[in-house]
Structure 1
Amino acid sequence: MGNQFAFIGNQYKLEIDDNEYFIDLLLYHRQLKCLVAIELKIGNFIPEYKGKMEFYLEVLNDKVKLPDENNSIGIIICKEKNRTVVEYSLKTSNMPIGVASYKTTSKLPKDYKKLLPASTEIAEKIDLLLKYDNVYE
């Protein structure tokens, strides 16, 4: 997502009266000077997601953002999206909300393989960690 984002939290808790709500990911964009709420969905986009995101953005703008920051932005990331459904859903919104889709794959891209440790190295580190933890029990 770029180097302008700062991580604020995952499952970021919002408390309204006696109710708790959780934003999947909350980031801060340094250049835009605003909070960015991200909701992750494992299925298709449905119009109800827009209402939930608008609620989150209203609360963030009212209770979390600082006076010198810009209004919050929402991003809904779904497995799939129907462009027409998204357009109709967001047509009446006056809030900055985007909808994106993702793809999963069982193969790791070649460029990433060199950035990650081998599975044997991971197993060795886990074993070492478990042995280290057992020393203090």
Structure 2
Amino acid sequence: MQLKKELIQQVHNIIADAKNRAIRSVDMERVLMYWQIGKVILEEEQDGKERAKYGEFIIKSLSNELQPKFGSGFSVRQLERYRQFYRIFPNTSALRTQFSWTHYKTLLSIANEDKRTFYIAETEKNNWTARELERQVNSRLFERLLLSNDVKSVLNVARQEKLPTEPKDIITDPMILEFLGLKREASYYEKDLENAIITHLQDFLLEIGNGFSFVARQKRIHLDGDDFFADLVFYNRLLQAFVIVEIKTDKLTHQDIGQLQMYVNYFDRFEKQDFENPTIGILLCADKNDAMAKITLPENNKTIIASKYQLYLPTEQQLIAEVKKEIEKLDGID
């Protein structure tokens, strides 16, 4: 006799689930231990008359006692981090059971409270791993969303206090595609970029925004004897709309916009159901002229978006420059 594959798989799943629960349980206990150590240090420090000096003395003395017995997790730097952990999260009710200590280390590196609140909400909502959270922080997701939204709106969408109603609420610009592994100094055909996106589809779905699922690649559109092919088609469950992504490895032209508008019109007339919202088009381009795009599109346009892509993680200085450039463009157009 031979065991059924379904039975073997079922037992495998039970074992894997039990191991994952055990790991999460151990990690949560570790998080609570660090929180309690931070609480004890901070409360003792606040009882001292010269807090700064006394706090320094407590941490150094504790480290000298604990590190030889329990290892590098109790160095001066780590104990300072535990104190900071308690200071930022003074109530255990604010701790998320699904967050590992690695999640919290990344969150502790964020000084701005609004920014930290955003990443906590997004991590909880999207069930990001510690690696995914770190990647989103390093790619400056919060700052990129602020290029087209205000802080209050970004936080409300992240906390699910407000449903996204427009593409700009969730679609990032610029998009950071460093995970594709393409060298930024090299030149690429659109097919190369498309292939790389399909290979790293899970990472791309994480980058493009919340609520996306993949529908088709090179979607054929037949119009009276002529065939056209839309590069990538997605569906967004939050916006309840099809999303067509056209890839352009050169600077955006008005012809590119016209082509994408045709694809959007086709989906609206032949693919979209009555209960769904108008189709969204994203031109993923190496460079763009926002003024040209704004003039080419209808004045009340909310469905065609030009999003610039970068093949490397931006620095904070680069994003500040990007913000200034966007403000100057808006001033010039108005």
Q: TM-score, normalised by structure 1?
A: 0.70
Q: Provide, for residues 42-94 of structure 1, a one-character-per-residue CA deviation record: whole Å limited to 9, x for no partner.
A: 10011111111111111101111122211101110110112222222225574
Q: Residues of 2 paired with 1:27 and 1:63: CA distance?
A: 16
Stretches of 4+ aligned residues off by more than 3 angstroms: 91-95
2:285 pairs with one of 63, 78, 88: 78
Aligned sequence identity (%): 28
- Alignment match, 2:209: 2
What is the identity, as a one-letter code, of the residue corresponding to 1:45? Answer: L
- Relative to structure 1, the CA distance from residue 91 to residue 85 in structure 2 (aligned partners, 3 Å threshold; closer, same or farther) is same
SS of residue in 2 equivalent to 1:99: strand
Deviation at 1:8, TM superposition (A): 0.5
1:20 aligns with 2:227: yes
Q: Residues of 1 paired with 2:287 and 2:278: CA distance?
A: 27
Deviation at 1:39, TM superposition (A): 0.4
What is the identity, as a one-letter code, of the residue corresponding to 1:77? Answer: L
Q: How do 1:1-137 and structure 2 match up within 5 A?
A: 1-92=208-299, 94=301, 96-105=303-312
Larger helix share, 1 or 2 = 2
- Relative to structure 1, the CA distance from residue 24 to residue 14 in structure 2 (aligned partners, 3 Å threshold; closer, same or farther) is same
Deviation at 1:104, TM superposition (A): 2.2
Q: Provide, for residues 4-40 of structure 1, a one-character-per-residue CA deviation record: whole Å limited to 9, x for no partner.
A: 1111011111111221111111000001111001100
The number of residues matched between the two structures is 106
The answer to whether the 8 A contact 1:65-1:71 is kept is: yes
Q: Residues of 2 paired with 1:93 and 1:38: CA distance?
A: 20
Q: Residues of 1 paired with 2:210 and 2:295: CA distance?
A: 32
CA RMSD of aligned residues (A): 1.9
Q: Residues of 1 paired with 2:278 and 2:270: CA distance?
A: 11
- 23-32 or 92-101: which moved more? 92-101
- Relative to structure 1, the CA distance from residue 93 to residue 54 in structure 2 (aligned partners, 3 Å threshold; closer, same or farther) is farther
5+ residue gaps in structure 1?
A: 108-137
Larger strand share, 1 or 2 = 1
Q: Residues of 2 paired with 1:61 and 1:37: CA distance?
A: 11
Q: Residues of 1 paired with 2:233 and 2:222: CA distance?
A: 15
SS of residue in 2 equivalent to 1:66: coil
- Highest CA radius of gyration, 1 or 2? 2
Q: TM-score, normalised by structure 2?
A: 0.30
Q: Residues of 2 paired with 1:48 and 1:93: CA distance?
A: 19
The answer to whether the 8 A contact 1:54-1:95 is kept is: no
5+ residue gaps in structure 2?
A: 1-207, 314-334
Higher RCO (CA < 8 A, seq sep 6+): 1
- 37-46 or 16-25: which moved more? 16-25
